[in-house]
């Protein structure tokens, strides 16, 4: 007769231990923090009276970051929302740069014409 398999004290008897790796909480938090930090760009532009920069705020990235943290028991859902958060953040940075280039060009033209 063989001995029964050892049980993990963290789980009640009769329940199998999890087979999947735990959800990436650190990755979800990092993606959310970076998405929230992208609000610094529009805040600076609003301070400089460029109100149209409010059109490119990373609201979807922040929403997906929050959704990733809310899906913590489901590792597949967390991974999916982390990918969405990073994709929105990178798309936001590209849009911000595309919006900023004409502003910088206009500013440089104004400096050259006034001096």
Res. 8: pLDDT tops 70: no
| Mean pLDDT along residues 85-104 | 91
How far apart (Å, rounded) are the C-alpha atoms in residues 115 and 113? Answer: 6
Q: Would the pLDDT of 84 be above 60?
A: yes
In contact, 27 and 72? CB cutoff 8 Å: no
| Domain boundaries along the sequence of the chain | 25-114
91-94 — which CB contacts under 8 Å span 24+ positions?
Answer: 92/38, 92/56, 92/58, 92/61, 93/38
From CA 76, how far away is CA 19, in angstroms rounded?
13
- Does 4 have pLDDT greater than 70? no
- pLDDT more than 90, % of the chain: 41
Q: Which of 3-12, 14-23, 99-108 is least confident?
A: 3-12
């Amino acid at each position: 007769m063989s001995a029964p398999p050892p049980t993990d004290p963290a789980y009640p008897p009769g329940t199998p231990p999890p087979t999947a790796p735990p959800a990436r909480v650190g990755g979800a938090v990092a993606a959310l923090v970076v998405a929230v930090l992208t609000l610094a760009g529009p805040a600076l532009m609003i301070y400089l009276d460029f109100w149209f920069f409010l059109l490119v705020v990373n609201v979807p990235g922040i929403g997906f970051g929050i959704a990733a943290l809310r899906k913590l028991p489901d590792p597949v859902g967390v991974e999916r929302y982390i990918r969405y958060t990073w994709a929105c953040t990178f798309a936001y940075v590209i849009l911000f740069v595309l919006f900023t280039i004409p502003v910088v060009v206009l500013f440089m033209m104004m400096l050259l014409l006034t001096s």
